[in-house]
Amino acid sequence: MKRFLVLFVFAAVVIVGAGLGLVWQQFASNPASSDTTEQLFEVDHGKTFRSIAHELAEKKLIRNEKLFVWYAKISGKAGKMKVGEYSLSPNMKPSDILTTINSGISVGRQFTVAEGLNIYEIADLYQQEGFGTKDDFLKACHDKVFIKQMLGED
């Protein structure tokens, strides 16, 4: 009787493990859809990884936010996302999305500053071009933590 119970428990663990492995494999290797439409996705300073996963699911860039969080934790990439604006699409695999938001290589936007302008003139130009408010720009110019992060010294 004990031998049967041990075999039953062992078989149940193997079946459950195989099922979880199959779900995991399906999630990690399949995109949310075949839609190739690119979407801009912004990772803001101070956002948690769970809130990022929630937003990705809301925008239908991933199929399951909880599996995405677990995938990121197990792969050791959950806390390594970089602030920026990224071009993502629903046909990207979750691993590709995670790699992209951890890369720090965000969408480039051209912003030309004429030589000799001071930060207040640049702040006005920044606001006119639609990048944000001049107050935000000036705050960033004086934020030592932000400056160190941008220089890669954090």
154 pLDDT band (50/70/90 cuts)?
low
What is the residue-averaged pLDDT of the chain?
86
CB-CB contact of 89 with 38 (8 Å): yes
Q: Hey, CA dihedral for 111, 114, 115, 118, is it positive or negative?
A: negative
Q: Give me the CATH number covering residue 82.
A: 3.30.1490.480
30 pLDDT band (50/70/90 cuts)?
confident
pLDDT of residue 118: 94
Residue 5 has pLDDT above 70, yes or no: yes
pLDDT tens figures, 69-87:
988 888 888 878 888 889 9
CB-CB contact of 118 with 128 (8 Å): no
Q: What count of Cα atoms within 13 Å lies in the side-chain half-sphere of residue 151?
A: 9
The boundaries of the domain holding residue 102 are: 31-108
Are 101 and 124 within one domain? no
For residue 146, the SS3 value is helix
Are 37 and 26 within one domain? no
Angle between helix 94-103 and helix 2-29 axes, rounded to 10 deg: 60
Are 64 and 101 within one domain? yes
User: Stretch 15-22: mean pLDDT, rounded?
Assistant: 74
Are 24 and 86 within one domain? no
Partner residues linked to 43 by β-bridges? 84
Phi, psi (deg, nearest 5) at residue 42: -105, 130
- The angle subtended at Cα 43 by Cα 32 and Cα 76, nearest 5°, is 70
Number of domains in the chain: 3
Are 35 and 25 within one domain? no
Are 98 and 60 within one domain? yes
